[in-house]
Amino acid sequence: MQDRSGVMEKLASLGKRKGFIFRSSEIYGGLGSTWDYGPLGVELKRTVTERWWTDVVAKREDVVGMDAAILMNPKVWEASGHVDSFQDPLVECGQCRRRFRHDHVEGDVCPECGGPLSEPRMFNLMFKTFIGPLEDEGSVAYLRPETAQGIFVNFRNVQEASRQKIPFGIAQIGKAFRNEITVGNFTFRSREFEQMELEWFCHPDEAGQWFEYWLQARFDWYISLGVARERLRLRPHEPDELAHYAKVCQDIEYEFPFGWSELEGIADRGTYDLDQHLELSGKDIRYLDPNTHERYVPVVIESSGGIDRTVLTLLADAYDEDEVEGEERMLLRFAPHIAPIKAAVFPLVKREGMPETARRIVEELRARAWNVLYDEGGSIGRRYRRMDEVGTPFCITVDGQTAEDQTVTVRDRDTLVQERVSIDSLAGYLSERLNL
């Protein structure tokens, strides 16, 4: 089995060097566990969001989308339980003043300097802010810690506007914010992150079957991205770790280089959220079945995944090292359809019309909305290595034979096999192999 020790550090270095992920505001020393996505990182992130939206929303008649505001009436968070329950136990080192989640520390000494730790105290994870010119209790607002509540408070609006009948789902992609005590492992735990959430509304009698359906569907989705099946597993929550709103929950976990950790959670939230908003708002948001005339609060089955964690998973899963012609090679073995750069085109030399032909091929492939790179710098071997490092599945070389028979060499990143392909059939050849 491949030794994955040190992979996170290598990914952080590669991420900065190649334009995947940078520390936010790095020139000022950064800001704790916040990250910016560079040219390749944003391509990978965009691919994840588009595939999720296509698979969860666009291909289905029974799921619709929405986009709720980040700032919401603070009563939303009172009703949801976040004001009272969204807390972690915090301990502080009396020597180095570092703070840690109590459940992440073994013993009563600081894991950094060995100093004494304080007694645990509860710490609310929501970011508090103020609306308007006065900073008083009457103007308190919160940056949302999850996107789900925006869906719940709009359940009736969306259902009536879209004329959906239960069972149906409401999907949303958006930013969320948590004032995490303990952060780290590159982008795994961040204070600002992006969620992709589906809230599936169903009759209470059908909750169990829909929970199992979405559990399997979401597990299979990560495999469809090319994530290794053997590095994925389902882990049921123990009763003492269930969130205050959940009746049952299972995590899809990935075996990161630092160990097994959550990638996405699938939960039966029961009727908790809609019950709470119905009671506190005084608005009747129950569903009226047009066939049976039964009025009831639907059960919610939630799938909640992180886009940033998915990107990190794809990077960690794709990272590999091997040897080619006696030289060590670092590469990212992305599944071709999710690679940030789909292909690179090289002129073998900068003369004899090769650059012009290569540029024309780039334009033709980019017309298909593929991210295709042109590179004429350095030896052909060096150019191959640059593309391997960023996970480009195919490199296309225009050479002396191209002018004679209008063919180019296509080199496969993983097998290193090279094929002659005619320029006229190149787009079809790549489309089949990219699965686009």
CATH number of 341-434: 3.40.50.800
**The pLDDT of residue 94:** 82
96 pLDDT band, cuts 50/70/90, is: confident
272 pLDDT band, cuts 50/70/90, is: very high
> Hey, where are the domains in the chain?
7-79+137-315, 341-434
Q: Which residue has the higher pLDDT, 362 or 351?
A: 362
Q: Which residue has the higher pLDDT, 18 or 100?
A: 18
Whether pLDDT at 86 is above 80: no
Count Cβ atoms below 10 Å from residue 376 Cβ, excluding itself: 16
Residues 6+ apart with CB under 8 A from 152: 80, 199, 273, 274, 277, 300
Question: 198-242, pLDDT tens digit by residue?
Answer: 999 999 999 999 999 999 999 999 999 999 999 999 999 998 888
Tokens linked to 368? 């298909």
DSSP letter assigned to residue 116: B
Whether pLDDT at 1 is above 60: no
Tokens linked to 149? 């509540």
Whether pLDDT at 22 is above 90: yes
Three-class SS of residue 42? helix
User: Exposed/middle/buried for 332, CB within 10 Å: 0-12, 13-18, 19+?
Assistant: buried
**The pLDDT of residue 182:** 64
Mean pLDDT of the chain: 92
Model pTM score = 0.90
138 pLDDT band, cuts 50/70/90, is: confident
Residue % of the chain over a pLDDT of 70: 97
Whether pLDDT at 151 is above 90: yes
User: Exposed/middle/buried for 144, CB within 10 Å: 0-12, 13-18, 19+?
Assistant: buried
In 3D space, the residue among 194, 436, 434, 188 whose CA is nearest the CA of residue 305 turns out to be: 194
**The pLDDT of residue 103:** 74
**The pLDDT of residue 208:** 96
Whether pLDDT at 406 is above 60: yes
111 pLDDT band, cuts 50/70/90, is: confident
Task: Give the side-chain half-sphere CA count within 13 A for 142.
Answer: 24
Whether pLDDT at 125 is above 90: no
Rounded average pLDDT over 35-59: 97
Rounded average pLDDT over 128-132: 90
CA distance 204 to 289: 13
Whether pLDDT at 366 is above 80: yes
Tokens linked to 70? 């980040």
CA distance 433 to 428: 9
35 pLDDT band, cuts 50/70/90, is: very high
DSSP letter assigned to residue 390: T
Measured over all CA atoms, what is the biggest interatomic distance in the chain, rounded to whole angstroms? 78
Rounded average pLDDT over 4-10: 86
Whether pLDDT at 46 is above 70: yes
Q: By mean pLDDT, which of 101-115, 284-298, 420-434 is the weakest? A: 101-115
Q: Does domain 7-79+137-315 have CATH number 3.30.930.10?
A: yes
